[in-house]
Amino acid sequence: MKVDMEAEQPETISAIVAAHRAGTVTPAQTIARTYQRIRDHNDPAVFISLRDEKDAIAEAEKLAARDPASLPLYGVPVAVKDNIDALGFPTTAACPAFSYTPTHDSTAVERLRAAGAIVIGKTNLDQFATGLVGVRSPYGTPRNSIREDLIPGGSSSGSATAVGAGLVPLSLGTDTAGSGRVPAMLNNIVGLKPSLGMISTAGLVPACRTLDCISVFALTVDDAALALSVMSGPDQADPFSRDRPLGALTPLPANLRLGVPRNGQLIFFGDKKAETAYGDALKRWTALGAELIEFDLEPFYETARLLYEGPWVAERYLVIKDLLASAPDTIHPVTREITAAGARLTAADTFSALYRLQGLRRIAERTFANIDALVLPTAPTAYTTAQVLANPIELNSRLGTYTNFVNLLDLCGLAVPAAMRGDGIPFGITLLAPAGRDALLASIGRVFHADTKLTVGAKGVAQAPLAPLAAHGGDEIPIAVVGAHLSGMALNGELTALNGRLIEVTKTAPDYKLYALQTTPPKPGLLRVEAGKGASIELEIWSLSASAFGKFVNAIPAPMAIGTVRLADGRSVKGFLVEPEVLGEARDITAYGGWRKFMAEAAG
């Protein structure tokens, strides 16, 4: 399939989806262009496995049967790091001897596909996601998309270079110690590391299971936030998942307080250009109106040392201990050396480190008492592939200076480009905040990135003006949803397509019953009953503009109806109810407390 006007093709997720909905470009054309770019880029180390092009185009053509307005990622090509399960591809974790064929998608991939995304391949990584460099794979080293002599960054090397090179506008990485942030900086793209548990890790080959995050690479913060909103939400298949929806992006706060390390605490390993670029980034924040507040970085450094000097290495050992015992030579020698140390740790070592970590977490909490977010270099410097191969462990460790402590302290992070240095090396900053402030980081990070006026990725494409945020004034109407419109579920795209904003997760007053209706697909019915004869049912409150609310309500089929729902705190809000006449054959599922729990058990 020939794609015309290559130079005019949209690059970002938002532009691609808009073009698909307008009909100026079809999803099939976008997928064909993706494969042509992969051929032109000619780097076999980016993808470990690539889907058949005809198969991907056929899936794109089938999207025509679905409502584009309900698909926030309508026809968007996506690459997935090869330690995340995607049906139709082997999962290797960059170790052929470990490879297996998954029987279903990971939860994250399943939610992307439900939103209209098309998975085109599995990307290379530092083996078993152990490394920040991108050179520890038997499948080769992906070329850095900006400067070919530089490392691509790891462990999510293929995912970051695929976005940087313009092969795909969206990819999934993972982030345990910085693997979703360091390669973002080195490829001049955005790397979003969500709060722990925000994206389910069901279907992810663990690195450190208690710390792992699935992360997002994109060209803009808005694109990354959109992908996060699609994937976030609790998952019964992942005991570490949390109910942490993204929420709405907001304008830049008028009294934004950003933490910067005390004088003399930052480390750049002699890289004066990186040091200057960081200073320039702080000046940019000041010009944007932020107040810079000094904080003590030393406790964060101490936390970082715990990651590889403490018991968390044992989590990496647990993943591959059988392979270490049976076929150690199949594991990359650096990965083997790091991971094998996990076998020597004792329970006493573990508890000692946990006690210290708890103390460090309390210090971090006090740091954020008068600070909205920290602003740090994403990495202190950059290295060439030759330098890293000559000194693999020390230089890798240096790259994690400002990333290794983040998941141990339960912080969320957003890496954004800040400058292109005179020597052609990209520099970036990372915003960090306590878990749950993901929307705040996206809200302020998008403004900073736009203010740099940097081109996105490696193709020299200019940033489009920031899209206006959804209005959130008196024009908006809240609506309570209890079923498939919940975040992360099948019909949630109908709300996001109308620029709906998630306001809060709450419950009804304790006088409702919930039913599973005899419909295809299954739907819930919420019914108000006498006080004392019902229960509190979980729901989400979304906000729609008046016009969007009208469109949404007009499309609701019988026997569903919109009425007044009373909340646990006494407030009332418009929301989904059911006509009682259809409940004769319905199943009472009130005991589950909510539709999400009922569906999880039905699926299990």
Give the pLDDT confidence of 87-96 residue by residue, as tens digits: 999 999 999 9
15 plus 155 within the same structural domain: yes
Res 2: pLDDT: 43
CB pairs under 8 A, 24+ apart, for 306-310? Answer: 306/353, 306/356, 306/357, 306/360, 306/408, 307/177, 307/400, 307/404, 307/405, 307/408, 308/177, 308/338, 308/397, 308/404, 310/349, 310/353, 310/357
Same domain, 462 and 507: no
- Residue 323 placed within a domain: no
Q: Is the pLDDT of residue 63 over 80?
A: yes
The answer on 239 and 124 residing in a single domain is yes
Average pLDDT over all residues of the chain: 92
- The answer to whether residue 137 sits within a structural domain is yes
Domain span at residue 567 reads 476-603
Is there a single domain that holds both residue 72 and residue 205?
A: yes
Together in a domain, 484 and 424: no
User: What single DSSP character describes residue 241?
Assistant: -
Q: For the residues 240-250, what does the mean pLDDT come to?
A: 84
Q: Is the pLDDT of residue 4 over 50?
A: no
436, 467, 498 - which closes a domain = 467
- Please check whether residues 566 and 458 belong to one and the same domain: no
pLDDT of residue 64 exceeding 90, the answer is no
Please report whether residue 480 resides in a domain: yes
Same domain assignment for residues 149 and 286:
yes
Give how far Cα 23 sits from Cα of 223, 446, 454, Å.
20, 28, 29
Give the residue carrying structure tokens 């708890």: 358
Answer yes or no: is 365 within a domain: no
pLDDT tens digits, residue range 462-485?
Answer: 999 998 876 555 567 889 999 989
Q: Which of 430, 446, 467 is the last residue of a domain?
A: 467
For position 312, what pLDDT does the model report? 76
Q: Quick check: 253 pLDDT over 50?
A: yes
Whether residue 153 is found in the same domain as residue 113: yes
* Residues 408 and 489 grouped into a single domain: no
| CB contact at 8 A, 401 and 304 | yes
Query: For residue 138, what is the domain's CATH number?
Result: 3.90.1300.10
Q: Which of 63, 60, 41, 202 is nearest to 123 (CA)?
A: 41
Instruction: Please return the burial class of 263, using the count of CB atoms within 10 Å of its CB with bins 0-12, 13-18 and 19+.
Output: exposed
Residue 258 placed within a domain: no
User: Per the structure, how many domains does the chain have?
Assistant: 2
Residue 27 lies in a domain: yes
Higher-pLDDT residue of 10 and 33 is 33
Strand, coil or helix: what is 587? Answer: strand
Residue 173 is predicted with a pLDDT of 98
Out of 439, 467, 495, pick the residue that ends a domain. Answer: 467
Position 257 in a domain? no
Residue pair 31/45 in contact (Cβ under 8 Å)? The answer is no
Q: Please give the pLDDT value at position 569.
A: 67
- Residue-level pLDDT at 504: 77
Same domain, 480 and 404: no
Q: How confident is the model at residue 604 (pLDDT cuts 50, 70, 90)?
A: low
CATH label of the domain that carries residue 578: 3.10.490.10
Whether 488 and 407 share a structural domain: no
What distance lies between CA 67 and its chain's CA centroid? 25
Residue 361, domain member (yes or no): no
Q: Reply yes or no on whether the pLDDT at 5 is more than 70.
A: no
184 and 272 fall within a common domain: yes
The mean per-residue pLDDT over the stretch 280-300 comes to: 97
pLDDT class for 384, splitting at 50, 70, 90? very high
Q: Average of pLDDT values for 100-124?
A: 97
Enzyme catalytic residues = 81, 155, 179
